[in-house]
């Protein structure tokens, strides 16, 4: 890291005249077509100083000639990206989580651009850490980050969950690796009063889905009653929390045998197994079957994986959201509640809401909007970068 300490050693890159406005408003990304010169001579992850026309300094970031997002800014003022700089960013992120969730065992400690450490995710599960690095620039900085995590948190184990396709776009290898200690094969944590098993070496994400915590806290108490249908339930968290909040029974649907096995284990561990049913199958097919049988639910939860992975898939993804919500509305009992979500960051909140409204019209259901939600506070977004506010959550009463 000492070689990174002198900013004058960083290469220079210029933005085309007129293309700096978004960056000046605070956006942390510079796209390859916004640069004034070729990037082929740069190494992936190389630190650069970025300038606009008339020698206006924009910031220090790292560059990747293989990526559409060519530069991700790390700082707006001129200065080093060294151990001290990284420690300051990490300490700020950790302090925020101490204030937000002081007693929680399962928390996202670092959320990429939201904590101004682009390309880095760190999740804590009790005394274990799961880390994910998604950019070449953060890969170069990560040895210093790893040392800081060990010093600040003294974890029993650190696992790198770098098995994500986004690394391919940065020409990085994919895989899962133990970086420190040995993972507990029986690791469990308390999440919103539930005891949940965490598999750091397998499963989806880094072990658990943590971005719905605030929505679950706010929505389920007071609204949970009767029969609940949890679509794309994976490990069963939504449905089990609904039972704790007053529902009588929950049915979870997913295509993942691994997830459903975990959901059943979680139900058993929390003394809720006799009030649960887990169905392996395609959600759309199961919804169609329920409709044909005239089966309805007092609460339906839709928390699917992202339907839109890139801008070119927006139109098809919106058709998917329309079809899903249309079919789900058919199985909500009169006066019941539907919680519908999208984690596709290419779909803006107003567009998602319009799509759900369209589905309500097609289903001939009167819908009242009770609330709009987003990702939990340990997944902060940058207000100047709408793409970082990826999660949309609408709570609706259906008549």
Query: Measured between alpha carbons, how far is 392 from 358 in angstroms, rounded to an integer?
Result: 16
Tell me if 10-75 shares its fold with 211-398: no
21-66 pLDDT per residue, tens: 999 999 999 999 999 989 999 999 999 999 998 899 999 999 999 9
User: 27 by DSSP, 3-state: which?
Assistant: coil
Average pLDDT for residues 260-285, to the nearest whole number? Answer: 98
CATH number (3.40.640.10, 3.40.449.10, 3.30.750.80, 3.30.300.130) of 83-188 reads 3.30.750.80
Residues 6+ apart with CB under 8 A from 399: 334, 335, 365, 366, 367, 368
pLDDT number for residue 8: 77
Query: Measured between alpha carbons, how far is 40 from 211 in angstroms, rounded to an integer?
Result: 37
- How far CA 217 is from CA of 159, 244, 284, 338, in Å, comes to 28, 11, 27, 16
309-327 pLDDT per residue, tens: 888 889 999 999 999 999 9
pLDDT number for residue 158: 98
To which H or E segment does residue 269 belong? helix 257-269
pTM of the model: 0.94
pLDDT number for residue 1: 43
Sign of CA dihedral 3, 4, 6, 12: positive
Locate 128 and state its tokens. 């274990």
Query: Measured between alpha carbons, how far is 310 from 290 in angstroms, rounded to an integer?
Result: 32
pLDDT number for residue 3: 43
Q: Which residues pair with 367 in a beta bridge?
A: 398
85-139 pLDDT per residue, tens: 999 999 999 999 999 999 899 999 999 999 999 999 999 999 999 999 999 999 9
CA nearest neighbour of 342 among 375, 371, 306 = 306
Query: Measured between alpha carbons, how far is 153 from 124 in angstroms, rounded to an integer?
Result: 10
Sign of CA dihedral 131, 133, 139, 144: negative
226-259 pLDDT per residue, tens: 999 999 999 999 999 999 999 999 999 999 999 9
Query: Measured between alpha carbons, how far is 88 from 79 in angstroms, rounded to an integer?
Result: 13
- Report the relative pairing of strands 276-280 and 332-342 from DSSP bridges: unpaired
CA nearest neighbour of 136 among 225, 67, 68 = 67
pLDDT number for residue 2: 43
Domain assignments of the chain as residue spans, ordered by start: 10-75, 83-188, 211-398
Active site residues: 343
* More confident position, 5 or 69: 69
CATH number (3.40.50.970, 3.40.50.300, 2.30.130.10, 3.40.640.10) of 10-75 reads 2.30.130.10
Over 70: is that where the pLDDT of 345 sits? yes
User: 163 by DSSP, 3-state: which?
Assistant: coil
Locate 94 and state its tokens. 């950790």
Query: Measured between alpha carbons, how far is 19 from 41 in angstroms, rounded to an integer?
Result: 22
For residue 201, the tally of other CB atoms under 10 A from its CB is 14
- Report the relative pairing of strands 249-254 and 227-231 from DSSP bridges: parallel
CA nearest neighbour of 80 among 9, 141, 137, 5 = 5
Query: Measured between alpha carbons, how far is 51 from 299 in angstroms, rounded to an integer?
Result: 53
Over 50: is that where the pLDDT of 328 sits? yes
CA nearest neighbour of 111 among 210, 240, 244 = 210
Q: Which CATH architecture has domain 211-398?
A: 3-Layer(aba) Sandwich (3.40)
Q: Are 231 and 302 in contact (CB under 8 A)?
A: yes
């Amino acid at each position: 890291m000492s070689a990174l300490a002198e900013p004058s050693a960083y290469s220079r890159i210029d933005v085309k005249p007129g293309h700096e406005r978004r960056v000046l408003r605070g956006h942390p990304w510079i796209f390859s077509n916004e640069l004034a010169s070729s990037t082929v001579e740069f190494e992936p992850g190389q630190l650069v100083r970025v300038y606009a026309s008339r020698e206006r300094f924009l910031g220090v970031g790292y560059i990747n000639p293989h990526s559409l997002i060519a530069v991700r800014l790390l700082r707006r003022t001129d200065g080093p990206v060294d151990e001290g700089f990284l420690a300051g960013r990490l300490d700020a992120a950790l302090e925020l989580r101490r204030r937000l969730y002081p007693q929680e065992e399962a928390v996202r400690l670092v959320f990429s651009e939201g904590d101004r450490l682009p390309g880095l995710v760190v999740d804590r599960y009790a005394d274990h850490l799961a880390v994910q690095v998604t950019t070449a620039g953060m890969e170069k900085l990560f040895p210093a980050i790893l040392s800081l995590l060990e010093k600040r948190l003294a974890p029993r184990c650190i696992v790198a969950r770098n098995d994500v396709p986004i690394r391919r776009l940065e020409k990085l290898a994919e895989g899962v690796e133990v970086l420190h200690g040995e993972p507990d094969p029986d690791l469990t944590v308390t999440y919103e009063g539930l005891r949940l098993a965490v598999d750091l070496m397998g499963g989806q994400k880094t072990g658990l889905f943590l971005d719905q915590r605030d929505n679950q806290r706010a929505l389920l108490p007071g609204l949970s009653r009767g029969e609940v249908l949890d679509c794309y339930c994976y490990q069963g968290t939504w449905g089990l929390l609904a039972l704790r909040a007053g529902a009588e029974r929950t049915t979870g649907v997913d295509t993942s045998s691994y997830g459903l096995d975990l959901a059943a284990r979680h139900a058993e561990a929390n003394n809720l197994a006799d009030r649960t049913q887990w169905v392996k199958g395609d959600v759309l097919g199961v919804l169609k079957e329920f409709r044909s049988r005239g089966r309805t639910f007092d609460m339906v939860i839709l928390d699917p994986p992202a339907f839109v992975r890139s801008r070119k898939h927006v139109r098809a993804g919106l058709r998917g959201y329309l079809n899903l919500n249309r079919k789900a509305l058919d199985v909500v009992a009169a006066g019941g509640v539907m919680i519908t979500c999208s984690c596709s960051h290419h779909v803006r909140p107003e567009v998602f809401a319009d799509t759900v409204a369209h589905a309500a019209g097609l289903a001939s259901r009167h819908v009242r909007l009770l609330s709009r939600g987003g990702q939990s506070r340990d997944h902060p977004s940058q207000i100047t970068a709408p793409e970082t506010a990826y999660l949309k959550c609408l709570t609706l009463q259906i008549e």
